Structure 1
Amino acid sequence: MRFDWIAKYWPLLIDGAIQTVSLLAISVSVGFVLAIGLAFAQVSGGLISRNLSRAYCTFLRGTPLLIQLWLLYYGVGSLLPLVPGLRQSFLWPILREGFFFAAVSFTLNFAAYQAVILRGALLSVPKGELEAGRAVGMGPFTLVRRIWLPRAIRIALPTIAGEVVLQLKSTPLAFTVTVMDLYAVAYKVRQDTLLVYEPLIVVTLFYVALTAVIARSFKFVEAQVPIRR
């Protein structure tokens, strides 16, 4: 096996790793915020919002992420240039890149899965704690912010950690829409050097290391905020 090619391609490898981590960070952080709204819509929303949230989650969880990504990139992406004035706007350098569509697709997909998890966690919070909060005069927003949502997140924390790792494993799909993530760099190295296994080994080690970091981070958080049953 040869790894001398790393000396030449290490800047690309670093850029690819940054792209991968950026996709993960954006989709997880923004998707989690969306998931909170979707989960509360299902738990305490009205009939319309509850059904819309359930339909959203069912559709996104029931279709492959790759198809969602391609529908956005090749479907919506092909229509954007037809919007008057968009090419001349400051948004065009962002909207024309595959990274934008990958980030949006991953975010929407992650939100759908997390919403279902958070919904179950919200329903599992003991009703006595919520009633105690209301008894001391907490309003709905204060109750959610100080009791309901924090307790639900603590309950769902182990499952959320697993979903973040699964999201990391989905990031190579961005390669299919011209995003130069780490897998795309490995593919380029293979084309240039005709080496097959070595670039994939480097990518594998990166994903294993990042998965270990994610797992340890969530374990640290769990240790700081133990879950009470």
Structure 2
Amino acid sequence: MESLNTWLTGLLTENSIFTLQTLGYYWEGLVTTTQLVFLSLLIGLVLAVPLAIGRGSKHRFIKLPIFFYTYVFRGTPLLVQLYLIYYGVVFVEGIQDTWLWVILEDPFMPALIAFTLNTAAYTTEIFHGAIKATARGEIEAARAYGMSQSLMMRRIVLPSAFRRALPVYGNEVIFMLHASAIASVVTLMDLTGAARFVYARFYAPFDAFLFVAAIYLCLTFSILFLFRFLEKRLLAHLKPVS
């Protein structure tokens, strides 16, 4: 116990990178990363559901623009999208004289827009595939009960598609967590930005970035645990009866 106290005391000395001040930077970075990932996933999921439904529409003027949107955002790097939105908004004529500039001048908002549009594109394709995989028997049974198209979509197709898409969507959540490391390139103090700041101050790249890597690992395993739990609860009916 005494040796543990000695180690903790030495860890927080001024000669160590893990001072109360630097730990505060890491905490700020953790909060920023969590907010950015959570909000982008939440808004992206809300956008992806109607887009996934429209993606399977028989009308070309509905499905083609959605296909083009998902094709562009899945076919280009997220870093390029972030740069275009962050730097490109400045060149929109007259925007600096509007109320939008008060919001967009904060680097968090362009990053949130880029991350949201990116994850919405991937999630749209995930749910589109899950909707297409709906068993024909489920649809025929719903029609036999006299359900309308919208009611069948709400009660039969979407809940079933969500359960099928859950494992793949879990990978998308982890991808967005890892992709959030690029947010620091637009001056956001996220986890990676905090590590860069600590590295620039103490010239200790291994300590600074290994600590951040450990935090990312903890967050990743937490997400994995959450989705495994959801899969067990929502997909329990698919387990073979022993």
Same topology, TM > 0.5: yes
Q: CA deviation at 1:80?
A: 5.0
> Please, which moves more after superposition, 138-147 or 107-116?
138-147
- 1:53 paired with 2:66, answer yes
> Hey, what does 1:68 align to over in structure 2?
81
Distance in structure 1 (CA, Å) of the matches to 2:147 and 2:172:
32
- Given candidates 141, 144, 154, the residue that maps to 1:132 is 141
Alpha carbons of 1:227 and 1:58: their partners in 2 closer, same or farther (altered >3 Å)? farther
Give the whole-Å Cα distance in 2 for the aligned partners of 1:49 and 1:121.
19
Closer/same/farther in 2, CA of residues 13 and 118 from structure 1, 3 Å limit = same
Amino acid in the other structure paired with 2:41 = V
1:79 maps onto 2:82 in alignment: no
Aligned-residue identity in percent: 35
Q: Distance in 2 between matches of 1:227 and 1:53?
A: 33
Point out the structure with max Rg over C-alpha. 2
- Is residue 2:192 matched to residue 1:176? no
Residues 30 and 191, structure 2, Cα contact 8 Å, conserved in 1: yes
Question: Counterparts of 1:61 and 1:184 in 2: how far apart (Å)?
Answer: 25
How far has the Cα of 1:134 moved from its partner?
A: 2.1
Q: How does 1:14-53 map to 2 (within 5 A)?
A: 14-53=27-66
Determine the structure 2 residue equivalent to 1:146.
155
Please give the secondary structure, in 2, of the residue aligned with 1:74: helix
Runs of 4+ in 1 over 6 A off after TM superposition: none
Aligned with 1:117 (options 95, 108, 126) = 126
TM-score (norm 1): 0.92
Gap runs ≥5 in structure 1:
none
How far residue 81 of structure 1 moved from its aligned partner, in angstroms, is: 7.4
Q: Which amino acid aligns with 1:163?
A: E
1:122, 1:148 within 8 Å by CA — same for their partners in 2? yes
> Residue by residue, what CA displacement relative to the aligned partner does 1:2-54 show, whole Å, maximum 9, x if unpaired?
95322221111111101001111011111112111221111125211111111
CA deviation string 1:141-183 (max 9, x = no partner): 2211111011001001111101110111100111111111010
Give the Cα–Cα distance (whole angstroms) in 1 for the partners of residues 237 and 68 of structure 2: 32
SS in 1 for 2:56: helix
- Going from structure 1 to structure 2, the CA distance change for 1:81 and 1:185 (only over 3 Å counts) comes to farther
Match of residue 223 from structure 2: 214
Looking at structure 1, the residues matched to 96 and 133 of structure 2 have their Cα atoms a distance apart, in angstroms, of 49
| Preserved CA contact (<8 Å) 2:82 2:110 | yes
Per-residue deviation at 1:70? 0.4
Matched, 1:190 2:202: no
RMSD: 1.7
How far residue 84 of structure 1 moved from its aligned partner, in angstroms, is 6.7
Instruction: Find the aligned partners of 2:71 and 2:56 in 1 and give their Cα distance.
Output: 16
Q: Does the CA contact (< 8 Å) of 1:121 and 1:153 recur in 2?
A: yes
Aligned to 1:10: 23
Q: 1:165 aligns with which of 169, 174, 180?
A: 174
In 1: Cα distance, 2:46 partner to 2:88 partner: 26
